[in-house]
Amino acid sequence: MAIPTSRTKDKAEIRINYEKCTVCGSCVNVCKDFSLKIVNQKVVVSDTPCFGCIACGHCMAVCPSDAIEIHGRMLSPDNMFVLPDIEKSTDYDELLALLQCRRSIREFKDKPVSEELINKILEAAKTAPMGLPPSDVNVLVLDSKEKVQGFATDYCNFLKRMKWLVSDWFIALMRPFWGKPMDEMFKGFVRPLFDIYLGNMDKGINLVNYDAPLAMYFYGSPYTDPADPIVAATYAMIAAESLGLGTCMLGGVHPLIQSGKKAKKFREQQGIKFASREGLFVIFGYSNVKYLKGIHRNFASVEAIPIHSV
C-alpha cells in the first residue's frame, strides 16, 4: 500500500520510454520519493523508494524529452500543460497591491456571481499545494444567495440542538481535558457566538454567512493534511479578489459540525462528505463597502533564529 488518501491508496505506475530518454538525470534529481535512479546509464524505477510514487508529477514536468509517464493516483500525461508565459504574470508590486486592498467583506450587493467566475476561482484554487497528491480537499459550492441563506438557517437550527455544548456544566466538565486556552475560548467566544448567530437569525439577520451570493466550504477527509483545505481556501480568496470580488473567510461553522451524531446528520443533509480536522468557509460577492484606507498588520512574532554552532 502507498500513502493513503480518500481518493486512492495505490502508488502510481512509472513508465519510461527508453527511445526518447537521453539520461539527462533531471527526473532523478527532482524525485524526492527516490523512486528513480540511474543504473548503468539507464533510468530505472528504484525498488527502495521512500513511499512509492506519489504522483507529484515533477518528473514529467521537468523531462525535456517527454520520456517519462506517470499513471495512477489521479495523474496521467493528459494532466500536463504548457506553462503560461511567466513574464506576463503578476509581479510583486501588483500582487502586494491586491493583497493590501483586500478587506473582509460582509456587505454584498444583491448581484449573483456568474458561473464563469465561480469556475475561475476553482481553477485557481486547484493549483494550491497540498500535503500529498492527489488533493484530498473537497469543496461544497453554494452558488446563490438562496442556497447560502438556506445553509445559514439550517446551521442555526442545528446549533439550537447543540446548545449543551456551551452550557456551564459541559464547559466545567471539559476544563481539565482541554485546558485553559480552550476554556477561555468557549466562555469568551464560542458561547457568545451561539447567542449572536441564533439571536440575530431570529430577527432575520444572518451573521453566519451574511447572505452572500456565493459561498464555498473547503474541507478534507480523515486522511487530509489539516492545512490543505485552508491553503486551497486562501488561493480561492486571492483569485476572487483578482476578479473584483469581495471575500470573507468564516471560521464559525467547521469546528462545530465535526463531532457527534447530530453533526453527522447535518453534514449529510448539506452534502458534506466527510468530517475533517480542518475546514474553512469563504464567502464571495460584490462589495457594498468601499474602504478608503489599508490597515498595517503584524505577526505575533517574527524572529530570526541565531546560527547554530556545531
Ligand X SMILES: Cc1cc2nc3c(=O)[nH]c(=O)nc-3n(C[C@H](O)[C@H](O)[C@H](O)COP(=O)(O)O)c2cc1C
The single residue listed with the C-alpha cell 483569485 is 239
Nearest approach, Cβ of residue 231 and ligand SF4 (Å): 19
User: Is there binding between residue 192 and ligand X (CB under 6 A)?
Assistant: no
Amino acid at 32: K
Nearest approach, Cβ of residue 71 and ligand SF4 (Å): 10
The partner in contact with residue 252, picked from ligand X, ligand SF4, none with C-beta cut-offs of 5 to 8 angstroms by kind, is ligand X
173, three cell numbers? 466538565
Name residues whose C-beta falls within 8 Å of residue 138's C-beta, 6 or more positions apart in sequence: 218, 219, 220, 221, 229, 272, 273, 274
Please state, in angstroms and rounded to a whole number, the distance separating the CA atoms of residues 250 and 285: 14
Please state, in angstroms and rounded to a whole number, the distance separating the CA atoms of residues 180 and 184: 6
User: Is there binding between residue 104 and ligand X (CB under 6 A)?
Assistant: yes
Q: Which of 58, 71, 103, 277 binds ligand X (CB under 6 A)?
A: 103
User: Is there binding between residue 5 and ligand SF4 (CB under 6 A)?
Assistant: no
Residues 247-266: x/- map of binding to ligand X (CB under 6 A)? -xxxxx--------------
Torsion of CA 163, 168, 169, 171, to 10 degrees: 80
Is residue 215 classed as helix, strand or coil in its secondary structure? strand
Nearest approach, Cβ of residue 253 and ligand X (Å): 7
Size, binding site for ligand SF4 by CB under 6 A = 29
The partner in contact with residue 132, picked from ligand SF4, ligand X, none with C-beta cut-offs of 5 to 8 angstroms by kind, is none
Restricted to residues 277-306, the positions that interact with ligand X (CB under 6 A) are 280
Nearest approach, Cβ of residue 252 and ligand X (Å): 4
Burial track 122-144 (b if 16+ CB lie within 10 A, e otherwise): bebbeebebbbbbbbbbbbebbe
Calculate Rg over the CA atoms of the chain.
Answer: 24
Q: Residues, the chain, total? A: 310
Please state, in angstroms and rounded to a whole number, the distance separating the CA atoms of residues 198 and 262: 17
User: Is there binding between residue 3 and ligand SF4 (CB under 6 A)?
Assistant: no
User: Is there binding between residue 125 and ligand SF4 (CB under 6 A)?
Assistant: no
The window from 53-61, 138-146, 205-213, 261-269 that contacts ligand SF4 (CB under 6 A) reads: 53-61
The partner in contact with residue 43, picked from ligand X, ligand SF4, none with C-beta cut-offs of 5 to 8 angstroms by kind, is ligand SF4
The window from 31-39, 190-198, 269-277, 299-307 that contacts ligand SF4 (CB under 6 A) reads: 31-39
Partner residues linked to 48 by β-bridges: none
Binding site for ligand X (CB under 6 A): 103-104, 106, 248-252, 280
